[in-house]
Amino acid sequence: MFSFSLTHRVAYYETDTMGYVHHSNYVRFFEIARTELMRTAGLSYAELEASGVMMPVLEAHCRYHQPARYDELLTLKATVRETPVTRIHIDYEITNEQGLTVCTGSTSLAFIDAATRKPRRAPDDFVRRLDG
């Protein structure tokens, strides 16, 4: 299991007229957490793509527990629970400053060869780092 957390302050443009984070932004928050989780595991998206590997999103799920508001400091947590082979599944939890769960969700992504667009195995060095 490999987890990574970071904080994100809700910007005004991420909210709707009620002052709540617009529902579409939670998937963006997942992407921020996923990108930083990968970087922490030693492989940035830029490096991955430069090596000829792409990661399209196959599924995204989101469950809203309570609204987040403008200027709140959120904690974005991403967790990989299983060793990736040709796909990677990532779970997310977003909490507010009071430690209350705002949103949970998950994404599944495939590893594909950039030239052929065919499935391929996850890069060995990335898998080793996730397995710690």
Q: Give me the residue label for tokens 């994404």.
A: 107
* Cα distance between residue 127 and residue 132, in whole Å: 9
* Annotated catalytic residue within 16, 71, 113, 131: 16
**Residue 122 DSSP one-character state:** P
Query: In CATH terms, is domain 2-131 a member of 3.10.129.10?
Result: yes
> Is 16 one of the annotated active-site residues of the chain?
yes
Domain boundaries in the chain? 2-131
> What are the pLDDT digits (tens) for 4-50?
999 999 999 999 999 999 999 999 999 999 999 999 998 888 999 99
Question: Where are the alpha helices (H) located in the chain, listed in sequence order?
Answer: 25-40, 45-50, 124-131
Q: Give me the residue label for tokens 């793509």.
A: 49
> What are the pLDDT digits (tens) for 111-120?
999 999 999 9
Q: Are 104 and 92 in contact (CB under 8 A)?
A: yes
